[in-house]
Amino acid sequence: MSLLVTGVAGFIGAAVAELWLNRGEEVVGLDNLNSYYDPVLKRARLDRLQRQSGFRFYQLDLENSEGISKLFAIELPDRVVHLAAQAGVRYSLENPLAYVNSNVVGFLSILEGCRHHGIVHLVYASSSSVYGGNQQLPFSEQHAVNHPVSLYAATKKANELMAHTYSHLYGLAATGLRFFTVYGPWGRPDMAPMLFARAILAGEPIRVFNQGRMKRDFTYIDDIVEGVVRCLDKPATAAAAFDPLAPDQATAAVSHRLFNIGNSEPVPLLRFITVLEQALGRKALQHLEPMQPGDVESTAADTSALEEWVGFAPCTSLEEGVERFAAWYQNWVQYNATLVL
């Protein structure tokens, strides 16, 4: 069974592709290898995949609708996992056009490819960021997501609306997954775990926003990948009990579903730092700073709908996940001593 993975050189994309290949299936990978963060890490992830049989790679921009259309026509994938996007909340304040081009125009290219080539199921990345200014915790798919606080979040909500529309118009089975703060080996160097680990080992101060009064639903990468693949194996269907007079926010009268995927245990940022310090054997120098524009104080996932749908919910403990991440990171730095993450 052939799977198209967009963003295949990214953190989650590479991990999903690896698991699918390990099942004996084929993966067609797409990535533009942009320089949002150092592409050396992206190429290292990609190199691991290219050593396996059944993997083919295309370097391509999502906005290249003609190129995307040709890829679908040549490869004829059965299913698609769309993970490519311009990531990062804070960067969206500096370069908003990159987010519209990649996350909106690019997603349209993928939807069109799915529409014209009989894709069995599209699973795409949304984000916990869509909950925006909502302060009712834990976040539930039943909550309205009408108050985004960053352009990144707005583009992810746009993706959910676009996917629903294609399900309605063309019968595309599509599932959107709202990821909550993913971390682990091979993670993104622009996110807190990597930023903190680098600074701690270098004896440099770490930037701790909102004076440390932050909570995040840190979710280990293996749990995210398990959830993605289980959803891939169960295409979205219309909700038989959907009532248009009292619409369910997470389901629809068409084959489109939305699920949170998080650890359901929000962790104070200061506790995360303590656990990371213990795993690295070093103390952090903390520089407390104000809340950043576009950020939110707390996130927490209600994953009961995901568990009911596929029989799985993330469960890796913070201590176990951080220990694995720290061990990987120290090895990565040791063998890439000249790399500045």
Give the CATH number, domain containing residue 40: 3.40.50.720
| The predicted structure's pLDDT at residue 337 | 56
Let me know if residue 282 belongs to a domain. no
Let me know if residue 188 belongs to a domain. no
Let me know if residue 321 belongs to a domain. no
Let me know if residue 132 belongs to a domain. yes
Cβ(196)–Cβ(276) below 8 Å: yes
Q: Does 329 qualify as catalytic in the annotation?
A: no
Let me know if residue 144 belongs to a domain. yes
Domain count, the chain: 1
pLDDT along the chain (341 residues), means of 10: 96 98 97 90 95 96 97 97 90 90 97 97 97 92 92 96 97 98 95 95 93 93 98 94 82 94 94 97 94 87 96 96 97 67 43
Domain range for residue 311? 2-180+218-264+300-315
Let me know if residue 338 belongs to a domain. no
| The predicted structure's pLDDT at residue 340 | 47
Catalytic residue among 99, 152, 220, 329: 152
Let me know if residue 295 belongs to a domain. no
Let me know if residue 194 belongs to a domain. no
| The predicted structure's pLDDT at residue 127 | 96
pTM of the model: 0.94
| The predicted structure's pLDDT at residue 133 | 84
